[in-house]
Structure 1
Amino acid sequence: MRKTDRLSKFENQNIIMKPLGLLPLIAFTAVTLHAEELEKITQPGAISGSVNIAFNTRTRLTAEGKPEKGAKDVYEVALNVAKTTEFKGKVERQPLLTSKILGSVEQPGQLFYSLDLAVLNPVNMTQKKTVGKWVGTVPIDNQGVYELAGSGDSKHRVSIDAIGRSPAFTDNFGGRLYGKGKKTDGVMSYVRKFQGKEVKLEVKNVDPMRFENVQLAQGPAQSYPKCTVTGNLDFDYETGNWLTNGIRFHYALNGKEYEDVVTGSIKWVEDPNRASNGKGQYEFNLRWNEEKNKPSSTEADAFKSANDEEAFFAVDNSVPSLTGVVSYVDTMAKSGDADTCTASKITYQLDANQLTKQQVMNFLKLWLIGVGPTNDE
């Protein structure tokens, strides 16, 4: 029922109120309703920019073919979210090195975050202020488990300065990310609804990236609250595709609890001349709260036919979604008898369809936490 309908109902019932007493009630109700509604955006390039990677652990090798001690993969990040927030800096990944004979740790596996966080003035986009940093060290054990809270002397966190009317705060990441490295046995099935029909994709060679009570830190602004993430993003080794498997985001804002269920896929498509030009791209087709937002089926849906695989990866803009491409230009080199990627130039152009800024921000933070596994060749 609209707010105007509610006021008409009071008037029709001839409820006796003091005029001055009714106005504050109306104003309070309007403010409360407004506070509970998060603005939705439909915006090309809601996530845009670049990530350039130098895989130094693949070029700086010992005589035994292991990465040299001190060699790190470097991810140079310059990404914009909803055109009003910028992440710029680098993430470094140091591999775990163990001795050949005793297996003792010679160098721990770690991620090092150093990203500047800036905001742009929505009224004047030429005005930009750096408000803080995303910093910290994330240990990675020999099973590929990322301890997202960080190490004891270098907590993994977002640290924001007091600027203008915005207060200073620090908030920590937490939980665990289980990276790629353990393939599942047997066949995994993934199901989605498309044009009123259920379509299924079966995958044999899956490697799950699992989010165990992952805590995404608040920020850069307080309007982007702390968020808990659970579920899987599964990698299909035969196709290079990523498939969602129960990813849930839970957070609270303005006194209201939210839970977003993200479904869909990220499809890898190689250029026909990739062997010579190094080109390929991820085609994003992620949907938010699909079950709640999907339109009702009609009689005509029973007569629609679709190839299961085509339908599974088809874009459906009738529900809130994040679509578009992340394009790669890779530098390839020989490593023994195989080709290996030694560097990547990556361009992001992801479009939001009826998503809130909080939903877009939460996804990007999660994606940057998995920057290693999602970019391994």
Structure 2
Amino acid sequence: MLTLRKLRTHLGASALTAMVALAPAPAALAQTETITEENIIAGTMDIDFGSRTKMDASGDLKAGSPAVGAADVYKFALRVAQTTEYQGEIKRLPNLFTKTLQRKQQEASLAFDINLGVLNPKDLKQKKVVGKWVGLIPIDAASGAFDLAGGASKERPLRIAVDAVGTAKSFVDNFAGRLIGKAEKKEGLTSYTFRRIVGDKTVTVTVKQSDPMRFENIVLAKGPSENYPRTTVSGRLDYDYETGNWYTDGIRFRYTIDGKEVEDVVTGSIKWVEDADRASNGKGYYDFNLRFNEEKHSKGSTEAAAFDQMSEEDAFFAVDNSIPCLSGRISYVDSFIAGSDTPASSKVNFALNANKLTKQQAVNFFKLWLICTGPTNDE
């Protein structure tokens, strides 16, 4: 790695000054004011579902298995809160077992290789890659648990590693905790009722086959700059197999910013909407309605009348802009495997909007969503 002195010699003082201007802000300059703007999380992702299209031809694996090494690859370039950028890929390998003895031939995992960039708030054309988000998440075959600290045993811990630039110090911070993915066996799924208070009334949605994705003390590494602190996440995000919707009655993010302990509670829904011609054009989108600290903010809301004439289901999914929320869409154009409705590849566009959110809230949710890349893109 080039030292600051070598950089001065190599690049010249003027170039160094420009790079320092792009350096991550120290914690003392952390900003917690709220933002209301479109495209707080924006960009594109291309998905190649290799585990669905590159099948085993050896005859050694269980019938219907993908070939050894066939991976689902998620390539993306995404910008969050205007001044942070994530560009790279995630590779997902499935568990593979031999046909006769059922021995494990390949372990399931998610491998991260993401460049982290920061942008100059005064001139967004100025950008610098300051580090990496890299490492491995092993996935347990029996429990379906994603072990965020498990890569350390393979000398590939999942981590954010940021270089020293200007006055900002270098750091390495590891992820930890467990994500319990969607169930392999669906027979044991039960119903679950989600409630939302709108004004003076409570509206509900009951999911008959609710498959919870659980967050067990997940630790999101800090970065890419110091004002995005290490954060602990707990709670659940439930999938409805009948509708393709996701629901949560509480994902909790806990962190410390400017010396103060903060807890954000995220509730709401992510509704799957298919285009009328999806069978031919492959189009569909997730419609986000995630509310931050709804219970605290709804007490002072005067917008209840706007929901009075809605059906209970419509009121449940309606966006209430009097409450801090993340709305907008993640849109898909899928190409299907011949003769089926299973995607072989997807082109994905992120266009999520912030209403009265802090940058920390936006970045924390984005990090968690990337951790969930596999389950949130499964059929």
Assess same fold via TM > 0.5. Answer: yes
Moved more, 62-71 or 133-142: 62-71
Aligned to 2:129: 130
Distance in 2 separating the partners of 1:49 and 1:81 = 9
One-letter amino acid of the counterpart of residue 217, structure 1: A
Cα deviation, residue 103, structure 1: 1.6
Q: Does 1:150 align with 2:163?
A: no
Cα deviation, residue 298, structure 1: 7.1
| Corresponding residue pairs, total | 342
Kindly tell me: are residues 271 and 172 of structure 1, through their superposed partners in 2, closer, same or farther at Cα, counting changes over 3 Å?
Answer: same
Cα deviation, residue 353, structure 1: 0.5
Measured against aligned partners, the alpha-carbon deviations of 1:355-375 in whole angstroms (never above 9, x if no partner) come to: 000000000000000000001
User: Would you say the 8 A contact 1:325–1:348 is kept in 2?
Assistant: yes
Which structure has the bigger radius of gyration?
1
User: Would you say the 8 A contact 1:36–1:256 is kept in 2?
Assistant: no
Measured against aligned partners, the alpha-carbon deviations of 1:255-292 in whole angstroms (never above 9, x if no partner) come to: 10000000000000000000000000000000000011
Measured against aligned partners, the alpha-carbon deviations of 1:29-57 in whole angstroms (never above 9, x if no partner) come to: xxxxx989711111110000011100011
Cα deviation, residue 65, structure 1: 2.3
Kindly tell me: are residues 68 and 130 of structure 1, through their superposed partners in 2, closer, same or farther at Cα, counting changes over 3 Å?
Answer: same
Q: Does 1:327 align with 2:327?
A: no
Distance in 2 separating the partners of 1:201 and 1:271 = 23
SS at match of 2:373: coil
Kindly tell me: are residues 314 and 303 of structure 1, through their superposed partners in 2, closer, same or farther at Cα, counting changes over 3 Å?
Answer: closer
SS at match of 1:205: strand
Q: Does 1:118 align with 2:132?
A: no
User: Would you say the 8 A contact 1:115–1:133 is kept in 2?
Assistant: yes
Q: Does 1:248 align with 2:284?
A: no
Aligned to 2:279: 275
Aligned to 2:77: 78
Aligned to 1:99: 98
Distance in 2 separating the partners of 1:299 and 1:89 = 41
Give the share of equivalent positions with the same residue, in percent: 54
Aligned to 1:23: none
Distance in 2 separating the partners of 1:303 and 1:78 = 37
Structure 1 runs (4+) greater than 6 angstroms displaced: 34-37, 297-300
Cα deviation, residue 245, structure 1: 3.0
Moved more, 299-308 or 72-81: 299-308
Cα deviation, residue 246, structure 1: 2.0
Measured against aligned partners, the alpha-carbon deviations of 1:184-243 in whole angstroms (never above 9, x if no partner) come to: 543210000123321011110111110000000000000000000000000000000000
Aligned to 2:289: 285
Kindly tell me: are residues 290 and 299 of structure 1, through their superposed partners in 2, closer, same or farther at Cα, counting changes over 3 Å?
Answer: closer
TM-score by length of 2: 0.87
Cα deviation, residue 334, structure 1: 3.2
Distance in 2 separating the partners of 1:227 and 1:311 = 32
One-letter amino acid of the counterpart of residue 77, structure 1: F
Given candidates 36, 49, 55, the residue that maps to 1:42 is 36
Measured against aligned partners, the alpha-carbon deviations of 1:288-312 in whole angstroms (never above 9, x if no partner) come to: 0001111447798599343111111
User: Would you say the 8 A contact 1:196–1:302 is kept in 2?
Assistant: no
Aligned to 2:363: 361
Q: Does 1:160 align with 2:194?
A: no
RMSD (CA atoms): 1.9
User: Would you say the 8 A contact 2:301–2:322 is kept in 1?
Assistant: no
One-letter amino acid of the counterpart of residue 173, structure 1: F
SS at match of 2:370: helix
- Point out where structure 2 has 5 or more consecutive residues left out of the alignment: 1-27, 58-62
User: Would you say the 8 A contact 2:195–2:249 is kept in 1?
Assistant: no
Question: How is 1:365-376 mapped onto 2 (pairs within 5 angstroms)?
Answer: 365-376=367-378
Aligned to 1:197: 201
